A = this chain, B = another copy of it.
Amino acid sequence: MNIAYQKLVSLNKEISLLTSTASCLGWDQETYLPKKSIQHRADQLSYLSGKIHALNTGDDFRTKLEAAEKEAQQGEPNHTQTANLREWRHQLEKSNKLPQELVEKSSQCSSLAKAAWSDARQKNDFTIFAPHLTELVNLAKEKAELWGYEDEPYDALLGCYERGAKTADIANIFDKLRPQIIETARAAVGRSKSNPARQLIGPFPIDAQKRLNQEVAKSIGFDFDAGRVDTTTHPFCTTLGPQDIRLTTRYYEDDFTASLFGMMHEAGHGLYEQGLPASDFGLPSGNAVSLGIHESQSLLWEAHVGRSRGFWNKWFSRAQELFPQLRDWTVDEFLHTINQAQYSLIRVDADEATYDLHILLRFQIERQIINGEISVNDIPSVWNDHFKEMFGITPDSDTNGCLQDIHWSMDGLGYFPTYTLGNLNASQLFSAATKDTSIREAFEHADYSPLLSWMRANIHAHGSTHLPQDLMKLATGETTNPEYHLAHLKRRFLTES
């Protein structure tokens, strides 16, 4: 029974051997590759991605999928089988709708755009980047038309990162969020200013940071027999196999919390990947469902766990052992330091209280560009006006303003909203999980295995069998609702610290 379905599963398992091989090459490139070998690595990866693309879109895949769909109509497929068939059909159609020339043009354009973006940033000259971004925007619009959309072209771009999401729904959520988060951020920043925190003073030896991070990662459930941590300039989490999840972080001698929270963030992604059904590796049911859900897992462990009082009640004494300069600090002082709110021009430096402002700004601009309401040349002034309105300050340069992020140059229009979705989902999932008083109590005593078990059962185990918003509903009783995150921010920044 399910013979046609099983054949399709085998083909996808085969493809997953190649994609996970490419992941290994990619991981090695970021961590250990000698610099003269970059061209050979690019040749290897381009060869593999050609093979993977051919298998994913070839006649064999189509024929096997059609046979399995036919079989499913005649039989009684279970939920997982139905979901996998749905996702495979979606992937095949999506990839077949773009002509090869457009894919290649996009990739070439993005290569040039990345170089131009870097140059423009260095020279603080948006006009260097503008023609490249204009072309990327036009290509994105072209792709959106080919993929198709219900309400507006931005839907098609957003859908690349957040399966099933609609722009209007996101806009609706963000509109609710906007006035309250502006107000909460303003109050939090004011409070932090009027009550300055002690500053951490290095050096915090890197070996000691590594030891602390390792102990913390273990304690929250990261399995080092099925993963590891390395060092890179840009931290990431990548999956090389069903039991091979690799994180990276970076170390600063003057602030151990940067590597610790960075590692907890990536470990959050890693716990999700380690919790996906290993036997379904390479199938939609064994894959993470969306960026907005993935980011909810990383933020849960970084922000809700890592910046909480219960966590530091347990771990602060260990930090004091490793870093003697902390010995005359109290846990309260330390919590106050790590939970300061401050406006920053730069998104990646932003704290929890102000982070979403950066995303709301980008979403609004992206949507207007794609809908043709503003042109690429308008971006610097639109950016600065909105920034002034939301943050009360004006960027001192485009380099610290609309040129700060790499995403657009990487053809990533539609990506940004998933960061805030991640924040909202994290707070909502945390709130739902801790309704169970045993989870709440364990959490307050820094025992996170009940919380992890809840995420395993309610999020990880489902893979991509539910669409993201269906999964949120299943797990929490409602689709993404910004109230939980607003409540979390108010509690953390206006009540607790």
Residue positions of A touching B, CB distance < 8 A: 14, 17-18, 20-21, 24-25, 28, 32-37, 40-41, 43-44, 47-48, 223-228, 230, 240-244, 281
Contact = CB atoms under 8 A, between A and B. Distances in A.
A226 B37 contact: yes
Contacts of A37: 226, 240-244
A228 B32 contact: yes
B21 A44 contact: yes
B17 A44 contact: yes
Contact of A25 (B21, B47, B226, B243): B21
Nearest to A244: B37
Nearest to A227: B34
Contacts of A14: 47
Nearest to A46: B17
A243 B24 contact: no
A41 B225 contact: no
28 contacts: A17-B43, A17-B47, A17-B48, A20-B40, A20-B44, A21-B25, A21-B44, A24-B24, A24-B25, A24-B28, A28-B28, A32-B228, A34-B224, A34-B225, A34-B226, A34-B228, A36-B223, A36-B226, A36-B243, A37-B226, A37-B240, A37-B241, A37-B243, A40-B241, A40-B243, A40-B244, A41-B241, A44-B241
A216 to B, nearest CB: 18
A194 B224 CA distance: 52
Contacts of A24: 24-25, 28, 44
A19 to B, nearest CB: 10
Contacts of A243: 34, 36-37, 40
- A-B pairs with the 8 shortest C-beta distances? A40-B241, A37-B244, A36-B243, A36-B226, A17-B47, A37-B241, A36-B225, A37-B243
A335 B44 CA distance: 46
Contacts of A226: 34, 36-37
A44 B48 CA distance: 13
Given A32-B228, A36-B244, 6 more contacts: A20-B44, A32-B230, A37-B240, A37-B243, A40-B242, A41-B244
